[in-house]
Structures are given as C-alpha cells and as structure tokens.
Structure 1
Amino acid sequence: MRSSSPVSPISPAPSSAAPPLTPGTARTPRSARPPLVAAAALTAMAALAPIATFVLLPDGRTSVAGWLMLVVAALDVVVALALVPVLEPAGRRLARVTAALRIGYGLVLGYAAAGLVVAGDAERFDQIWDLALGVFGLSLVGVGVLLWRLAGAPRWLAALVVVAGAGYVVDAVVSQVGPAGAFEVSTISFVGEVALIVWLVLNGLRARRALA
C-alpha cells in the first residue's frame, strides 16, 4: 500500500565552494604577503633607526632611543621570517641559515637596546651594535646569494645586496681592530638595501595581481 504523503525531493549537496567576497573584503593572496610584510618592516626600520641613532642619542635621550631600537630589533625578526618563503625556492637550507643569522642579530640588538633603556650607556650600545652588524652583514650576503639563484630576481640586485652585506662585515671588523672614526663602508653600500625594498614591493604586487 502506497503512502499518501508526498515524496520529498532530493536536496542538492551543499557546495564546497567558498562564498564570494563582498566588496571591501578582498584579501591579499598568501604568496604576496611575505614580500610586502618584509618591505613594510624594512621601511619602518629605515625610518626609526636613524631617528634613534642620529637624533635621540646625540641629544642624550637614551631611554627613548633604546625603546625605538627595541622596535627595530623586533622588526628585524619579522623581516627574517618574512624573507624565508620568498627566498626558499633558491635554496631552503641557505634561506633558513640566513634567517637564523638575522634573528640572532635582532636578539643581540635587542639586548643592546635594553641596556640602553636601563643604563643609558650609549658607548656600550655602540660597541655591541657595531659587532652585531657583522652578523647582520653575513645575513645580507646570504640574501644576495639566494637572489642570484632565484628565478626572476635581477642579478644586479643580488650583487648590490652582497656588496651591502660585505660593507657591514668590513665595518664590524674595522670597529674592533681599526682606528677610531674610520670610514664606514656601509654609508655608501646601503643602496642595496633600498633596492631590495623596492624589489620586494614590486614582487609582492605582481604576486597579488597574478592571484587576484
């Protein structure tokens, strides 16, 4: 005997597709985020570090300068982590070693900056920072080598970054064994860091457009 109740139609299976984004909710693709994050952090560091070292420290405001350098140290760690996915295609092991060197530099800089906040000893801060910049320079050399290997990265950029890193290494050595007030190579070799920021921004925007 058939039931008089109507047969319920089979409901369609729920769609697994993500709902469309409403206007104003567009997200930056994940592959575009690391270079843009690194570029933003590098830009902030380029603004904060000179204020701390060339304005606040000479004016005797050591505590404020120390706090700013603590922020710079934290941003160094952010840059180190953000560059790993950008550079890993050119060599995972070297990318991680390079990141570890920069993180180590950031930790030493943070230690020096904390001492500046607590004790206000600008001379000791300079001594520690000068030595730590050698480690920072080695990390930049690693970045340059990876850029040289990385598909799509210009060779001239890789060369400039290597020169910038070598400049910091030379300055660190001279600060320990050379005469006081010796010329600092990094005052002219920093151009590679500026070029790196520009390339990271362009790389991130290209990835964003490609995945939009």
Structure 2
Amino acid sequence: MTTSRTTPHHIRTAALVAGLSLLALAVLAALANFGVLERLVTPGDAARTAADIRAAEGLFRSGVAGLLLVAVLDVVAAWALLAFFRPAHEGIATLAAWLRAVYAGVFAVAIAQLAGVPGADPAQALAKIDAFHDIWQAGLLLFGVHLALLGHLAYRSGYAPRLLGVLLVIAGLGYLADSLGVILVPGFAPTASMFTFVGEALLMLWLLIKGRNVTT
C-alpha cells in the first residue's frame, strides 16, 4: 500500500507569496528604473538631467515611489523564501533571508538620495543620482551572496531542480563580479549580471508554476 505525499500548506503559501513578490518587484523595478530614471537622466549632463526632471517631476517622483515599493517587496520575498527553503537547511535559509532584508535596507538608503533631486540645483541633482547608483551597486554585493545561498539550498533541497540551484549560484556570482568590479576598479562598467540573471527569472517562474506542488 502506498500513501500520497501532499505539499504542506505553509510551503504552498510561501511559494505563492515568493513567486508573486518576485514577479511584482521585477515589473516595478523595470518600470521605475528603465521607464523613468533611465529616460530622465542623461549621464554627465547635469543641466539636461535637471531640466528633464523638472519637466516631468510627477513621473520622477512616481518612479522613486515605485523603487521604494520594490524594496518592501524584497523584504516580503526574503521571508517567503526563508519559509520555502527552511526544510533544506534552516540556518542557511535564515542567513539568505537576512542578507536580502539588509540589501533591501541599503537599497532604501540609496533611493533616499533621489528624494531631494527635484529641488536640487543641477550639479547636486546629478551627484545625488550618482550616489543612488553607487550605493545600490554596493548593496548588490549582499544580494549576490543571497542568490548564491539560495542556489545552494535549491541544489541540496531534493525538491527544487538542481539545475535551478546551479543557475542561481551563477546569477549570484554575476552580481558579486559587478559589485566588486565597481568597488575595486575605477570606471568599471557592470555587465556580468545582464547575462547571468536567468536563474532569478527561472526561480520566479518555477515557484509560481511548480513550487506549490513540491513535497518536502
């Protein structure tokens, strides 16, 4: 006689919350960063940047609000992922969650640099925007370690695909390479994470499609 194994309710809930949080923050981050900041900021041109932001101040402030919401969703995702991966190793899952939560705090500090941009003079405005990018990039060091630990948890869990674990570690290494490059090499252009992000996207999709049906 065989017995069927069912997914614990808290695991199903954690998978759904984590997947939806990751999806929402990915969409919001893309809209706020590429749809607003990248559209209004001209690197190295303080006068044009200030003029463009003044002409679309409401759009700029909505982008800042969107980024703050992304930071909140990062914290939600951190604790949902902790609940989901706790059966694999509670200590590592807790460390991974705290790293993402601390990263979200650093990200919020970076976003705070943008709050005073609309009322600043052109030079100060561009300096604040540069500070936002610098602080965010430094914070991604923590995020990279978080992803690498998630990859380790997925690989050893027995209920997540091992390939997903490998891809998450690669994604984490991409962020680590970019952050360390920016910190250590003057003029370094972070590009590695643009090619290694696949693990992040697959984690989100897997949690939403398959994660609620795992057995631990």
What TM-score do you get using the length of structure 2 for normalisation? 0.78
* Aligned equivalent of 1:185: 192
- Percent identity of the aligned residues? 35
* Aligned equivalent of 1:33: 13
Q: Distance in 1 between matches of 2:189 and 2:106?
A: 23
The answer as to whether partners of 2:138 and 2:183 remain within 8 angstroms in 1 is yes
Instruction: Say if 2:67 is the partner of 1:69.
Output: yes
Q: Distance in 2 between matches of 1:112 and 1:179?
A: 20
Q: Distance in 2 between matches of 1:188 and 1:179?
A: 22
The answer as to whether partners of 1:62 and 1:116 remain within 8 angstroms in 2 is no
Q: Number of residue pairs matched?
A: 181
User: Secondary structure, in 3 states, of the residue corresponding to 2:189?
Assistant: coil
Q: Distance in 2 between matches of 1:55 and 1:45?
A: 14
* Aligned equivalent of 1:197: 204
* Aligned equivalent of 2:135: 128
Structure 1 residues 33-182: aligned runs within 5 Å: 33-58=13-38, 59=40, 60=53, 61-119=59-117, 121-180=128-187, 182=189
* Runs of 5+ unmatched residues, structure 2: 1-7, 41-52, 54-58, 119-127
The answer as to whether partners of 1:37 and 1:82 remain within 8 angstroms in 2 is yes
The answer as to whether partners of 1:63 and 1:118 remain within 8 angstroms in 2 is no
What TM-score do you get using the length of structure 1 for normalisation? 0.80
RMSD value over aligned CA atoms?
A: 1.8
Structure 1 residue 124: Cα displacement: 0.8
Structure 1 residue 175: Cα displacement: 1.2
The answer as to whether partners of 2:182 and 2:190 remain within 8 angstroms in 1 is no
Choose 1 or 2 for highest CA Rg. Answer: 1
Q: Distance in 2 between matches of 1:86 and 1:29?
A: 11
Structure 1 residue 183: Cα displacement: 4.8
Structure 1 residue 181: Cα displacement: 5.3
From the two aligned structures, give the one with the greater helix fraction.
Answer: 2
Q: 1:69 to 1:34 in 2, by over 3 A?
A: same
